[in-house]
Amino acid sequence: MMVIPLGHFYSIFYLRCMLTYPIHTGERALRQLEQDLRQKQYEQIMVLVDTHTHEHCYPLLRELLPEHELCVIKPGEIYKNLDTCTIIWQKLTQANFGRRSLMLNLGGGVIGDMGGFVAGTYKRGIDFIQLPTTLLSQVDASVGGKLGIDFMEFKNHIGLFLDPQAVYIYPPFLHTLPQRELLSGFAEVIKHHLIANREGWQQLRNTTEVRSLDLKALIEHSIDIKSRIVELDPQEKGARKALNFGHTIGHAIESHYLHSPHPLLHGEAIAIGMVTEAHIAFRRKLLSASELAEIHQFIARFYPKFTIPTQDFDAIFARMANDKKNMLGQILCTLLKGIGTFLINIAISKEEVFAALNYYNHHGPDTGI
């Protein structure tokens, strides 16, 4: 078991975390980016955006940047694959980008994961920086150096660990997000509280509207927790697996429905994953009935029920068999041991997963276990 102590809410512009690269957060983040790029003097800069961030975020940044190329790709997890990487690599090659170049990733988790992966493999690696524009990427995906793309419908199946030169988090980008996207990112905020901040969880439970929260404080709190864990275990060999709470089942659900008529956003799938994995912890007497009810009730407040047909259970479990955390043929999971602490590398069974999915399908947060 590992316990991560609660940090405090930072109010400074430059967040001094324990990572090897700076994370700049706040209203001045874009100005800091402008200054840093002047000092670095890269030979060429490629700005990677999707059609959404091209329209809503790039105009806020364009005049602050030196001369640069622009690469616009289609948005969404469905395009986070080798085909899109090839488009970006071709763009870099055709523009004669050398190794003294920079990839600037302006977007959500898909842009950050894929842009970093492309930069890390192009000519054996060029520098990249992250400018996350969604709550999901600001609290989670932009921190920690995990890069990758989906392959054969498995999440982040091809990738590497590589740190950016810096991360610039500009909270006003969040004003461009629709409510559903904002809630997708909020799922990772919930996760960070459940694994590492019991006191903060009791405060968070009173939330009824995400936009009413101090999002800048939540972002910095999540970065603090994640950076503490990543610093202990940068390549996910141990403690960093705590950050996968909700993701063993959640990733499998997300991948299974990615090409369906009604795909789930990442945070929506992780919300289901947190409820179902909390249920497994309850059955193992790691969580009390009241703690399971707290988690389920809070998540149900923000995320509509997505019924998972029983005939899909086997396919979802089969996807879990390819999870990156597995060892020796066992499906390994991170489980809560009470709210605020966790256990890693816990082998879970098919029977437990099916029972958890049935619990999610048939028990509302107030109807008991």
- 244, 277, 296, 352: the active-site residue: 244
What gap in Å lies between CA 350 and CA 155, rounded to an integer?
20
Question: What pLDDT is attached to residue 363?
Answer: 86
Please tell me the pTM assigned to this model: 0.88
Integer angstrom CA distances of residue 277 from 89, 99, 130, 252: 39, 44, 31, 13
- 52, 54, 91, 226: the active-site residue: 226
Q: Which of 240, 11, 44, 221 is nearest to 127 (CA)?
A: 44
What gap in Å lies between CA 266 and CA 47, rounded to an integer?
24
What residues of the chain score a pLDDT lower than 50? 1-17
At the fourth CATH level, the homologous superfamily of domain 245-369 is: Dehydroquinate synthase-like - alpha domain (1.20.1090.10)
- 191, 251, 279, 319: the active-site residue: 251
236 is catalytic: yes
- 181, 236, 291, 352: the active-site residue: 236
- 266, 279, 296, 319: the active-site residue: 266
Residue 4 is given by DSSP the state: P
- Which residues of the chain does CATH 3.40.50.1970 include? 2-175
247 is catalytic: yes
**272-295: burial string, b at 16+ Cβ within 10 Å, e else:** bbbbbbbbbbbbeebbeeebbbbb
254 is catalytic: no
Q: Is the Cα torsion angle 137, 140, 144, 149 positive or negative in sign? A: negative
CA angle at 239 for the pair 20 and 77, rounded to the nearest 5°: 75
244 is catalytic: yes
146 is catalytic: yes
Summarised one tens digit per residue, pLDDT across range 3-39 is: 433 332 222 233 344 567 899 999 899 999 999 999 9
Question: What pLDDT is attached to residue 106?
Answer: 98
CA angle at 281 for the pair 210 and 309, rounded to the nearest 5°: 75
Summarised one tens digit per residue, pLDDT across range 342-356 is: 999 999 999 999 999
Helix axes 266-283, 179-196, angle to 10 degrees: 30
CATH fold group of domain 2-175: Rossmann fold (3.40.50)
192 is catalytic: no
Question: What pLDDT is attached to residue 367?
Answer: 60
226 is catalytic: yes
124 is catalytic: yes
- Which residues of the chain does CATH 1.20.1090.10 include? 245-369
96 is catalytic: no
